[in-house]
Amino acid sequence: MPLSMYIASIPPAIRALTNLREILGKAATYAEAKKIDPSVLINSRLYPDMLPLARQVMIATDISKGAAARLAGVEVVKYEDNESTFPDLIARLDKTIALLETFKPEQINGSEQRTILLPMQGKTVTFDGMSYLFTFVLPNIYFHVTTAYGILRHNGLEIGKKDYLGEISQAG
């Protein structure tokens, strides 16, 4: 099967968010077992000028759902960004994964040359669909999921590469 914009966008986003969901579940269990106030982990950062765990999750979901919508040429679903607990963040991941699963290949495929206008920091950046996906979307999803992983690992959660990558299987 040839690589398509759908295959390159939706399944990797779903996989990254699903693995992050599992990691957050482990973090909630860890906080309870170690008697750590969950808000300590949720508000933790790797460095003072970096965003906390909750924002890393929010941004990973925003990038994912925004990419699917923009590549499909539909309106981006907005969330309130008010999640402050592990159950809230997990529910946000579940909601985003369910949304991504509604997109069909025919909505995304053929978007390589679609003009993507992305409002960012007071200006609008213009991409074609392929460069948007490969130079902005995927690196951002992986950055924010990795940073969330790093925050939790730094705070003692015993997770490893297998947790980040999730179940490995051969398809096709």
pLDDT in tens, 135-146: 999 999 999 999
Residue 57 in any domain: the answer is yes
Q: Is residue 169 part of a domain?
A: no
Residue 138 CB: number of other CB atoms within 10 A?
19
Q: Tens digits of per-residue pLDDT, 53-94?
A: 999 999 999 999 999 999 999 999 999 999 999 999 999 999
Return the CATH number at 110. Answer: 1.20.120.450
pLDDT at 170 over 70: no
Structural domain total, the chain: 1
> Residue 11 falls within a domain, yes or no?
yes
Q: Is residue 151 part of a domain?
A: yes
Q: What pLDDT score does 171 carry?
A: 56
pLDDT at residue 143 in the model: 98
Spell out the residues 6+ positions from residue 100 whose beta carbon is closer than 8 angstroms to its own: 10, 13, 14, 17, 64, 65, 68
Please check whether residue 81 lies inside any domain of the structure.
yes
Token pair for 32: 């309870």
pLDDT grade for 172, boundaries at 50, 70 and 90: very low
What's the domain range around 69? 5-164
Asked, for residue 90, whether it belongs to a domain, the answer is yes
